[in-house]
Chain A
């Protein structure tokens, strides 16, 4: 077990640190030691910081919008009184399994400013005068973020549903006997009990949402004019694009390391807060 972890998780991480000091294309031995020049290039690259900012916005939206909404949906779909909840759960989960490339094309057709039905609807209702180009430089980022929330919602929902199972029935019953209403039960019974696993879910959502590569690539490829660029598409374009004459694996590693370290520091800053929440739950 430890071996698996060391071999397939720790070792690749350490190796990618090592490779980030080379000008290397990923094949054969890495010999061209360039010191910190890859790092210097990453740190000075404005497109990198722009992409980084966008990645961060993606996770902000996931944490502030997707997580609470999914929790509400989970509480609703956990209720035994709701008939058909199994079906609803499946339906809300379906976007997760829908092929990302297909999502790219469906939304492109739906949101098309020339005859797409969303725009037809908006103009016929009179909400807008002229069609909105949803994937244009000005609107692309919020549009892609919204689609990302839609697609990732089912995952967070399942996490929350599992978390809600830690709440023993008798606690609910006790709350009922005490005369607590729905909101009070949620605040004083449900939330405290699911807090430790909630902290884990927060971490997972943060980590997942920082790397929305497939969806961005399928919808905009980071454009137009880099408006939706995230770190993953940046690395891909700068280092692995098949049209490049030579992939820059060392540079990709450096960009990944910088990104990883900063997100880690950001997580660590939240650490004390998270730990308190976590410990409050686990006795």
Chain B
């Protein structure tokens, strides 16, 4: 038996308190409407019920929206990854002319509060005729989402040892080859991070998918469906908790899948 790491003594209780609200949300999904409020903070429902899930499935239109959400999120992630990795590489490694200006511009756009820039975006997409499919929504989501990933890739590539690239160049590898075969695989931690956060954002996205599918409501995503629980006068907490619980499963799965990339960086690669 190995000696128990003393850190566990701190981490275990901390994590239990830490995730309490999440646990409450999941347990609320199994509580009756009465118990949600009268039962207060207890984590175990007195009577287990699946009514919330049935109602949530209907109200948020899971059946109709799930596949849209998958397509929308995956496409968005792919576009963001492709564009931001190449741009981040060019800015982080290369001696691109006007690099400083571009980085300055990127940082500038970070500080416009988002949300209400939706009106110009909408007018643009409407003008381009992209407003009847998910592609418009994907472009509108992926477009502004690029800045953060570009900066992340830039920072990451900038920190990589120069020897790696030099070695590859001496071997006569072409520029795209160096990028796709050597640099990108090494940037796995950032790829994982960017994929995770953009997947989450796209999965939960509400405003853009709503606005871009007005003409074809059958193309909506779950983020839109989730908002149906908020009424003018009352919120359906049980239904919301149930829907949130279902729709979080893929995100947690993605997290578990991607988290390996946060610990497998260039650490091993440098030596070989």
A binds B: yes
Q: Give the docked Cα–Cα distance between A256 and B11 (Å).
A: 41
Q: B263 contacts which chain A residues (CB < 8 A)? A: 78, 161, 165
Chain B, residues 233-257, CB within 8 Å of chain A (1/0): the string is 0010100110010001001100110
Instruction: Judge whether B267 and A197 touch: CB under 8 Å.
Output: no
Q: A168 contacts which chain B residues (CB < 8 A)? A: 161, 266-267, 270-271
Q: A86 contacts which chain B residues (CB < 8 A)? A: 256, 259
Q: A246 contacts which chain B residues (CB < 8 A)? A: none
The 5 closest A-B pairs by CB, nearest first: A8-B143, A165-B265, A15-B120, A282-B158, A12-B117
Instruction: Judge whether A249 and B21 touch: CB under 8 Å.
Output: no
Interface secondary structure of A, over-half rule: helix
Q: B119 contacts which chain A residues (CB < 8 A)? A: 15, 19, 26, 249
| A164, A198, A239, A257: most-surrounded residue (chain B CB, <10 A) | A164
Q: Give the docked Cα–Cα distance between A134 and B2 (Å).
A: 44
The segment from A106-114, A138-146, A178-186 found at the interface with B is A106-114
Cβ of B262 within 8 Å of any chain A Cβ, yes or no, is yes
B114 → chain A, closest Cβ, in Å?
A: 8
Chain A, residues 94-106, CB within 8 Å of chain B (1/0): the string is 1111110111011
Cβ of B210 within 8 Å of any chain A Cβ, yes or no, is no
Given contacts A91-B15, A256-B116, A282-B92, contact A207 B5 (CB under 8 A): no
Instruction: Judge whether A235 and B116 touch: CB under 8 Å.
Output: yes
* Chain A residue with Cβ nearest B227: A101
Instruction: Judge whether A91 and B19 touch: CB under 8 Å.
Output: yes
By size class, the interface of chain B is: 35 or more
The segment from A34-42, A220-228, A260-268 found at the interface with B is A260-268
Q: A62 contacts which chain B residues (CB < 8 A)? A: none
Instruction: Judge whether A97 and B252 touch: CB under 8 Å.
Output: yes
Instruction: Judge whether A196 and B111 touch: CB under 8 Å.
Output: no
Q: Give the docked Cα–Cα distance between A267 and B111 (Å).
A: 10
Measured CB to CB, the residues of A under 8 A from B are 1, 4-5, 7-13, 15-16, 19, 26, 76, 78, 81-84, 86, 88-99, 101-103, 105-107, 109-110, 115, 117, 150, 155, 158-159, 161-170, 193-201, 203-204, 207, 210-211, 213, 231-232, 235, 239-240, 249, 252-253, 256-257, 259-260, 263-264, 267, 278, 281-283
Q: Given B107, B158, B241, which contacts A267 in the complex, CB threshold below 8 Å?
A: B107
Measured CB to CB, the residues of B under 8 A from A are 5, 7-8, 11, 15, 18-22, 24-25, 28, 40-41, 83, 86-87, 92, 105, 107-121, 123-124, 139-140, 142-144, 146-148, 151-152, 154-156, 158-162, 188-190, 192-193, 196-197, 200, 226, 230, 235, 237, 240-241, 244, 248, 251-252, 255-256, 259, 261-268, 270-271
Q: Given B83, B112, B158, B256, which contacts A1 in the complex, CB threshold below 8 Å?
A: B83
Q: B196 contacts which chain A residues (CB < 8 A)? A: 158
